[in-house]
Amino acid sequence: MIAPRPTKSSLVIACVARLAAAIAGLSLLAGAALAGGYERVRLPSYDGDLDAVLYRPKGPGPFPAVVALHGCGGLFRENGKLSLRHSDWGERLAAEGYLVLMPDSYGSRRLGSQCGIKEMTVRASRERVADAAAARHWLQMRGDVRPDRIALLGWSGGGSTVLAAARKDRRPADEQPDFARAIAFYPGCRVQSESASFAARLPLLMLIGDADDWTPPGPCDYLAKAAKARGEKVEIVIYAGALHDFDHPRLEVKERSDIAFSATGTGKATVGTNPEAREDAIKRVRAFLSGL
């Protein structure tokens, strides 16, 4: 017999129950090893503990915080090191005074890269939304975090999770403060833009390149314009000539051929750093988060 998929309500209830149990004996930081400027920590989610990376600013806090969601390639490289994009953003945001938590949605479930997987078991719109909520709860249990000043940020598939998590009809069922704002780097917007029920409850910033042939900008542009017409606080920046992964600190332009879904339908897409777009995006993220 095939077990039924968990419903939204069951994911929330299960996650809240696990988090409530964790509050009673808050020893989640015990034994966390500091390496490369970050800590390896574990936090409860609806279907088991999540491994995560934590960057902490200097000082006692309390700090504003950012939950940062990886893309389909996962959080770590094959050699077990944190990927360069994540370490770059983690160090950058921590230096600016934000506590940064990066949950590992794939590695925690013994999954590798999901970029070439069509039938995903850890979906951006469901399981990863629950992971983001679990990360927010975990941060809100800490004395060094401002519980009402937590932002959500994601790249590619993680950006798609940001869009799903920011919907008005996905408002948290718990009594804790909601995410304060959301940032999505080159998300896949097609599903959300085709949904008549999409409406953003959070201030949302989307950053994408006009040459992105993996997650093309058209659906995101449509989504942003429709949201703004309804009076929602949604902004999009489309960078001329920029590709997928444009904000990576050091990625040579190359073609990937291991993609399950691409704009061309060929399973191929071009990725690479765009220094001008990257510099502008860093400034915009800083300004967007400055109100936290």
Phi then psi for 40, rounded to 5 degrees?
A: -95, 120
Which residues does 227 contact at the CB level (< 8 Å), separation at least 6? 198, 199, 200, 204, 234
How large is the average pLDDT for residues 12-19? Answer: 47
pLDDT, tens digit, 9 for 90 and up, residues 133-148:
999 999 999 999 999 9
Of 3.30.1540.10, 3.30.360.10, 3.40.50.150, 3.40.50.1820, which CATH number belongs to 8-16+29-242+276-289? 3.40.50.1820
How large is the average pLDDT for residues 176-199? Answer: 92
For 156-200, where are the E strands, in sequence order? Answer: 181-185
pLDDT of residue 12: 45
Supply the mean pLDDT for the chain: 88
Q: Is 221 exposed, middle or buried (0-12, 13-18, 19+ CB in 10 A)?
A: middle
Round to the nearest angstrom and report the end-to-end CA distance of the chain: 48
Q: How far apart are CA 248 and CA 109, in angstroms?
A: 26
Which residues does 20 contact at the CB level (< 8 Å), separation at least 6? none
pLDDT, tens digit, 9 for 90 and up, residues 249-281:
999 999 999 999 888 889 999 999 999 999 999
How large is the average pLDDT for residues 85-102? Answer: 97
Residue 17 has pLDDT above 50, yes or no: no
Preceding amide of 62 cis, omega within 30: yes
Q: How far apart are CA 161 and CA 131, in angstroms?
A: 10
Given the DSSP bridges, would you call strands 38-45 and 48-55 parallel, antiparallel or unpaired? antiparallel
* DSSP H or E run through 11: helix 8-24
Work out the pLDDT band at 234, boundaries 50, 70, 90: very high
Q: 190-218: string of b/e by CB count within 10 Å (b at 16+)?
A: bebbeeeebbbbbbbbbbbbebbbbbbbe
Instruction: Point out the least confidently predicted range of 41-50, 54-63, 248-257.
Output: 41-50
Phi then psi for 109, rounded to 5 degrees?
A: -105, 20
3-state secondary structure of 158: helix
Residue 56 has pLDDT above 50, yes or no: yes
Domain ranges of the chain: 8-16+29-242+276-289
pLDDT, tens digit, 9 for 90 and up, residues 63-90:
999 999 999 999 999 888 999 999 999 9
